[in-house]
């Protein structure tokens, strides 16, 4: 259903729920402020762009989205993609790619492709999420250690080589601020869970740096004066050549955004006992990305941690998300003059905690327990994300998963020779009795999908027979589907049977495979009488064929 959840929730909205949503929205805005600043800087843009993304993007995600409690904004998952786009195509390239990604998301929602995201294998999502976590961590080492390095390579290994080479230049004051930030974020919730620990950490770190005149880099020293207002809409210069260049980054933003937002919506559903509208959520995310880009923001998606905090503080409708955006807007106007004093090492500490929390570290402990194919996909996706980029990781991960899945399915499909001494079902006993287990007939049972991989395996099984029988019966009652390669295999089998003067008979074929063969014309080629519904028909037709032979 393409109807925003907000409209549904307003039907029975109460004053009591409004106050709950109001409080939840304000608390989430307080949580989002330092995260948005940190993620904006980590993405290679100025701090206010992270806040603009949370304000504009978060507003449209709540206004038009398909979840009751989704909070939209910048997230760590996009950092790698955004950095790569800015380095290669500049800020206008990022805006253009984000606009295209928004259109792709709307297209996905309108054409009800939200469920397709469910087909991305779990090892791929956990693999690239963990890889992104490592990359985010690696981008924060410079500020965390207070290293004064001009040009840092974008490649992971080269970046760490530079870090190791310059470890002797570590600024101990910056390192102290960074460690203090992490300690407060980790320990403060044990004292008070209602006040956001990231806000306390930044407040304490800024006071220390300013009060003690510590020689540490701040937002002001790195970015100068920053704006405290929402800019006017900016349309990038349109160029058809950019579409071709930026389509892959745009698709990457759309795919990653859809995966993360729908995953966040599913988590939220579990917390409130609700059901999100996946296609409407994609439309909302698409509109949010378009407007975020037009106002100079970065890509938007559902933020799992902020959404969870929203729910825990009593939110049950999208009103809380709208309140979160409005609150952030006023905080931006009021607090931005003071934001410039925040130490970069403190923001690095926040993002190091973010990277740790987003990584699927338990998956590494489970590698020896899960299927080898899943472990391979996880490791390959993880390493490719780190060494190359997210787009390559997802592409290779999907292809590898598809091949491994096909191999697994081919192995599941079984071919049983049903006239052997160990088979004693009534159907097989009937045929044994009729044909005295002579060389006149062979009877095979196929169990599982008959598609490429499995089809070739079956042809090899039949070819391994020393002598083709006069009649070959295939029991297909446990074959749910036949694909084009399966059909091709049956055609090859038919040719083999024709050359050896073997009559081919099918038994108990399901409706779907039968329709496929009928559409190909194979049913008429073989003869409809050769497709039997039960063993009695098989006995009757085989007797006729034996007599005719």
Assigned CATH for 414-548? 3.30.750.24
The DSSP bridge partners found for residue 505 are: 473
543 vs 381 pLDDT, higher one: 381
pLDDT band at 235 (very low <50, low <70, confident <90, very high): confident
Per-residue confidence band for 224, with pLDDT thresholds at 50, 70 and 90: confident
Number of CB atoms found within 10 A of residue 460's CB = 10
Check whether 2 has a pLDDT greater than 90.
no
CB 101 within 8 A of CB 250: yes
pLDDT (tens digit per residue) in 304-327: 889 999 999 999 999 999 999 999
What is the pLDDT at residue 450?
A: 86
Q: How confident is the model at residue 431 (pLDDT cuts 50, 70, 90)?
A: low
Confidence class of residue 439 from pLDDT cuts 50, 70 and 90?
A: low
Q: How many CB atoms lie within 10 A of CB 158?
A: 11
Q: Lowest mean pLDDT: which of 421-425, 442-446, 544-548?
A: 421-425
Cβ atoms < 10 Å from Cβ of 334: 10
Euclidean distance between the first and the last CA atom of the chain, given in angstroms as a whole number? 61
What single-letter DSSP state applies at residue 238? P
**Tally of CB atoms within 10 A around 99:** 21
- What is the average pLDDT value for the chain, to the nearest integer? 89
Question: Would you place residue 75 in the very low, low, confident or very high pLDDT band (cuts 50, 70, 90)?
Answer: very high
Residue ranges of domains in the chain: 17-223+258-401, 414-548
User: Which residues does 207 contact at the CB level (< 8 Å), separation at least 6?
Assistant: none
pLDDT at 548: 67
Q: What is the mean pLDDT of residues 56-63?
A: 97
Looking at residue 1, what is its pLDDT? 73
Q: What is the pLDDT of residue 388?
A: 86
With H, G, I as helix, E, B as strand and everything else as coil, classify residue 445.
strand
**Tens digits of residue pLDDT in 5-20:** 999 998 889 999 999 9
So what's the pLDDT on residue 512?
A: 93
Q: Decide the pairing of beta strands 471-478 and 503-507.
A: parallel
Give the model's pLDDT for residue 420: 55
The per-residue pLDDT for range 122-137, each reduced to its tens digit, is 899 899 889 999 999 9
Residue 453 binned pLDDT confidence (cut-offs 50, 70, 90): confident
pLDDT in the model for residue 419 = 63
pLDDT at 486: 87
pLDDT over threshold 70, residue 288: yes
What is the rounded CA–CA span in Å between residue 27 and residue 44?
Answer: 27
Model pLDDT, residue 437:
44
Q: Residue 445: its pLDDT value, please?
A: 87
pLDDT at 435 over 60: no
Q: pLDDT tens, 153-210?
A: 888 999 999 999 999 999 999 999 999 999 999 999 999 888 889 999 999 999 999 9
Residue 134 has a pLDDT of 94
DSSP H or E run through 417 = strand 414-417
Confidence class of residue 429 from pLDDT cuts 50, 70 and 90? low
65 has a pLDDT exceeding 90: yes
Q: d(Cα 278, Cα 415) in Å, to the nearest integer?
A: 40
Q: pLDDT digit string (tens) for 18-29?
A: 999 999 999 999
pTM of the model: 0.80
* Nearest-angstrom CA–CA distance, 106 and 282: 6
Please give the average per-residue pLDDT across 452-473, as a whole number: 79
Residues in the chain: 549
The total of other beta-carbon atoms located within 10 Å of residue 212's CB is 10
CA distances from 359 to 180, 351, 352, 353 (A): 22, 12, 11, 10
């Amino acid at each position: 259903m393409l109807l925003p959840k907000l409209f549904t929730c307003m039907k029975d909205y109460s004053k009591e729920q409004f106050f709950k949503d109001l409080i939840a929205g304000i608390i989430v805005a307080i949580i989002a402020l330092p995260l948005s600043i940190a993620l904006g800087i980590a993405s290679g843009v100025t701090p206010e762009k992270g806040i603009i993304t949370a304000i504009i993007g978060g507003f449209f995600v709540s206004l038009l989205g398909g979840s009751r409690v989704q909070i939209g904004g910048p997230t760590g998952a996009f950092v790698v993609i955004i950095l790569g786009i800015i380095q290669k195509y500049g800020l206008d390239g990022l805006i253009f790619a984000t606009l295209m990604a928004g259109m792709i998301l709307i297209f996905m929602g309108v054409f009800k492709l939200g469920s397709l995201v469910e087909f991305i294998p779990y090892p791929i999502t956990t693999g690239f999420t963990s890889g992104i976590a490592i990359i985010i961590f690696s981008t924060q080492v410079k500020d965390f250690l207070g290293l004064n390095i001009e040009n840092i390579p974008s490649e992971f290994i080269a970046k760490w080589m530079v870090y190791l080479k310059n470890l002797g230049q570590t600024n101990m004051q910056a390192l102290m601020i960074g460690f203090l930030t992490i300690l407060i974020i980790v320990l403060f919730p044990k004292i008070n869970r209602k006040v956001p620990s990231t806000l306390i950490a930044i407040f304490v770190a800024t006071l220390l740096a300013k009060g003690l005149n510590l020689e540490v880099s701040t937002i002001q020293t790195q970015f100068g004066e920053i704006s405290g207002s929402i800019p006017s809409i900016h349309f990038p210069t349109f160029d058809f050549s950019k579409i071709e260049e930026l389509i892959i980054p745009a698709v990457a933003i759309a795919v990653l955004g859809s995966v993360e937002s729908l995953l966040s919506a599913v988590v939220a559903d579990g917390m409130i006992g609700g059901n999100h509208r996946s296609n409407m959520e994609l439309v909302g995310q698409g509109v949010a990305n378009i407007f975020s880009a037009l106002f100079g923001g970065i890509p938007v998606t559902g933020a799992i941690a902020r959404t969870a905090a929203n729910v825990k503080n009593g939110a049950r409708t999208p009103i809380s998300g709208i309140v979160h955006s409005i609150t952030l807007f006023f905080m931006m106007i009021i607090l931005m003059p003071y934001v410039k004093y925040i130490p970069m090492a403190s923001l690095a500490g926040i993002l190091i905690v973010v990277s740790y929390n987003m990584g699927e570290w338990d998956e590494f402990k489970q590698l020896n327990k899960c299927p080898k194919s899943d472990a391979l996909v996880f490791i390959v996706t993880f390493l490719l994300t780190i060494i190359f980029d997210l787009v390559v990781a997802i592409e290779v991960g999907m292809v590898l998963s598809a091949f491994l899945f096909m191999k697994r399915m081919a192995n599941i499909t079984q071919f049983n020779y049903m006239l052997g001494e160990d088979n004693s079902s009534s159907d097989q006993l009937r045929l044994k009795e009729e044909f005295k287990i002579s060389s006149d007939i062979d009877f095979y049972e196929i169990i599982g999908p008959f598609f490429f991989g499995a089809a070739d395996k079956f042809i090899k099984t039949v070819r391994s027979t020393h002598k083709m029988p006069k009649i070959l019966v295939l029991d297909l009652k446990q074959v749910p589907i036949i694909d084009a390669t399966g059909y091709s295999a049956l055609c090859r089998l038919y040719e083999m049977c024709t050359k050896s003067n073997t009559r081919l008979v099918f038994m108990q074929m399901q409706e779907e495979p039968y329709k496929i063969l009928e559409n190909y014309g194979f049913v008429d080629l073989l003869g409809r009488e050769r497709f039997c519904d039960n063993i009695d028909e098989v006995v009757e037709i085989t007797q006729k064929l034996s007599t005719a032979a």
